[in-house]
Chains A and B, each alone.
Chain A
């Protein structure tokens, strides 16, 4: 395990160069650049706000929009990390066949790219909250957001690693995960607040959903200014530790064999 991390560290320059390349390609190939990549979450947020802010929100469209955009950014990060993780080993096959670099470096390439991408959406939320509420203290709250983001990052890395290995052995993993992601999106309070389910005694559906806890770790401090509760930290960290543990087990189990199935 320690050896694995040391090997990752040794190839950090390789990793960072590839992440830089991914970002440049993502943002260079369009006129709008970074704005283009934000189009999807922002367009979705506008649609959700127009349609649902009275129905599902508390009547304040701006705070509803901030909630949805934060949710979309974090959800998008987890979803895209996991889904793109599936293609990860195929994309990096040539490197895998040439150099004994730990496989987790390639999933890290995917997740780091997604993380930077989603941070831009989160930055928009910060600016939006600061401007519309005339509340600059949102910037001071960022320190409370970072622990949640770090936990989220490791959870996504774990998930991407698991899906990457799974997809090598079962080529329909990506397809099944897309279906699962669609279901999970509606089960997670992203465009509605958990109050709506609590009122109908369905709160347990959210309590058992690890994505909810990972999401709240960032959303609560960012939007309300309150520190996440101990319960949130424990549940979020539990989810992350479980994913990372499962990923570490998968790596130990399959890393010797995976190259023969690429």
Chain B
């Protein structure tokens, strides 16, 4: 029974904004404590206090501005990030569709990369043998599959990545805007495959800026802002609220820039509003 249970989960990490300390500097600081100006660490709250749950059949859409924590949430669900507070548990076979064009072995051929990717997704040799041909066929790369991936164009890589990543039979599907794939003909095919996957999966979390897709496919929407869920509920209501908010922000910004050009000050405010 696929299930997602996120309980007041937070993801916080510290970064050194200017540059990383070297081991030599670190040891020297240990010896002469305080004599060197320490590089201050900044705590980043990528996700704060997220709570939601999903059961079999749910389709969750996640919307929000860039940097709102949407992708971080997906990575938390995929188990790549672990919550620094709270808990996050996902039951069921996960298929995650994000950063899929990364992680090719450039010197290996297309066929070989199909093998690595499939194994990375937890495939067994027997399962792979059954799928190998169909992945190759779906990518439409033909004899190029015998060439090293380093010679592929960006579009060809995308096709191959998409073909491999979607050749699974997932229970929990995590998607981060992978709907724009390759040329026109391939895009239509990719959309069809996505729809197939979405209907086959028992539980889905979709991050997208395409509000129409969200409205069409999702049963529940989370609106995220600065690492928090500001509103959650049925798609129509939340999307409407989000659109109103965006429009309001745009108006505010327009008003500000009008006022700003009058007294030529406060350039930071526009950035803050954005």
Q: Which residues of A contact B (CB under 8 A)?
A: 10-11, 13-14, 17-18, 21, 25, 94-101, 166, 169-173, 176, 256-257, 259-261
**Beta-carbon contact of B24 and A171 below 8 Å:** no
**Beta-carbon contact of A13 and B119 below 8 Å:** yes
Residues of chain A contacted by B79 (CB below 8 angstroms)? 100
Q: Mark B136-154, 1 if CB is under 8 A from A, else 0.
A: 0000000000000000000
**Beta-carbon contact of A100 and B80 below 8 Å:** yes
- Report the separation of the CA atoms of residues A260 and B15 in the bound assembly, to the nearest whole angstrom: 8
**Beta-carbon contact of B124 and A13 below 8 Å:** yes
- Report the separation of the CA atoms of residues A105 and B124 in the bound assembly, to the nearest whole angstrom: 17
Residues of chain A contacted by B108 (CB below 8 angstroms)? 21
Instruction: State which of B20, B24, B112, B115 has its C-beta within 8 Å of the C-beta of A176.
Output: B24
Q: List 12 A-B contacts (CB under 8 A).
A: A14-B119, A18-B105, A21-B105, A95-B120, A97-B80, A97-B99, A98-B103, A99-B96, A99-B121, A100-B79, A171-B20, A259-B80
- Report the separation of the CA atoms of residues A169 and B81 in the bound assembly, to the nearest whole angstrom: 17
User: Within residues 66 to 89 of chain B, which ones have a CB less than 8 A from any CB in chain A?
Assistant: 75, 78-82, 84
Beyond A98-B96, A99-B121, is A259–B23 a contact (Cβ under 8 Å)? no
Residues of chain B contacted by A171 (CB below 8 angstroms)? 20, 22
Given contacts A14-B119, A94-B99, A259-B81, 12 further A-B contacts (CB under 8 A): A11-B120, A13-B119, A13-B124, A17-B115, A21-B108, A96-B80, A98-B98, A98-B102, A100-B79, A101-B120, A170-B20, A171-B22
Instruction: State which of A99, A166, A170 has its C-beta within 8 Å of the C-beta of B120.
Output: A99
- Report the separation of the CA atoms of residues A13 and B124 in the bound assembly, to the nearest whole angstrom: 7
B186 interface residue (CB < 8 Å to A): no
Interchain Cβ contacts within 8 Å, total number: 78
Instruction: State which of A17, A176, A259, A260 has its C-beta within 8 Å of the C-beta of B119.
Output: A17
Q: Which residues of B contact A (CB under 8 A)?
A: 13-15, 20-24, 26, 44, 75, 78-82, 84, 96, 98-100, 102-105, 107-108, 112, 115-116, 119-125
Residues of chain B contacted by A13 (CB below 8 angstroms)? 119, 123-125
**Beta-carbon contact of B80 and A98 below 8 Å:** yes
- Report the separation of the CA atoms of residues A41 and B257 in the bound assembly, to the nearest whole angstrom: 69
Instruction: State which of A21, A94, A172 has its C-beta within 8 Å of the C-beta of B112.
Output: A21
Looking at the assembled complex, report how far the CB atom of A104 sits from the nearest CB atom of chain B, in whole angstroms: 15
Instruction: State which of A10, A95, A173, A261 has its C-beta within 8 Å of the C-beta of B122.
Output: A10
Q: Which chain B residue has the least Cβ–Cβ distance from A96?
A: B80
Residues of chain A contacted by B124 (CB below 8 angstroms)? 13
Residues of chain A contacted by B82 (CB below 8 angstroms)? 256
**Beta-carbon contact of A94 and B102 below 8 Å:** yes
Looking at the assembled complex, report how far the CB atom of B245 sits from the nearest CB atom of chain A, in whole angstroms: 29
- Report the separation of the CA atoms of residues A173 and B22 in the bound assembly, to the nearest whole angstrom: 8
**Beta-carbon contact of A25 and B107 below 8 Å:** yes
By Cβ-Cβ distance, the 5 closest A-B pairs, closest first, are: A94-B103, A100-B79, A170-B23, A14-B119, A94-B102
Residues of chain A contacted by B112 (CB below 8 angstroms)? 17, 21
- Report the separation of the CA atoms of residues A25 and B104 in the bound assembly, to the nearest whole angstrom: 15
Residues of chain B contacted by A261 (CB below 8 angstroms)? 15, 20
- Report the separation of the CA atoms of residues A166 and B112 in the bound assembly, to the nearest whole angstrom: 32
**Beta-carbon contact of B100 and A172 below 8 Å:** no
Residues of chain A contacted by B121 (CB below 8 angstroms)? 99
Beyond A13-B119, A99-B120, is A170–B100 a contact (Cβ under 8 Å)? no
Instruction: State which of B44, B78, B102, B116 has its C-beta within 8 Å of the C-beta of A14.
Output: B116
Looking at the assembled complex, report how far the CB atom of B37 sits from the nearest CB atom of chain A, in whole angstroms: 18
Q: Which chain A residue has the least Cβ–Cβ distance from B97?
A: A98
**Beta-carbon contact of B116 and A21 below 8 Å:** yes
Residues of chain A contacted by B119 (CB below 8 angstroms)? 11, 13-14, 17
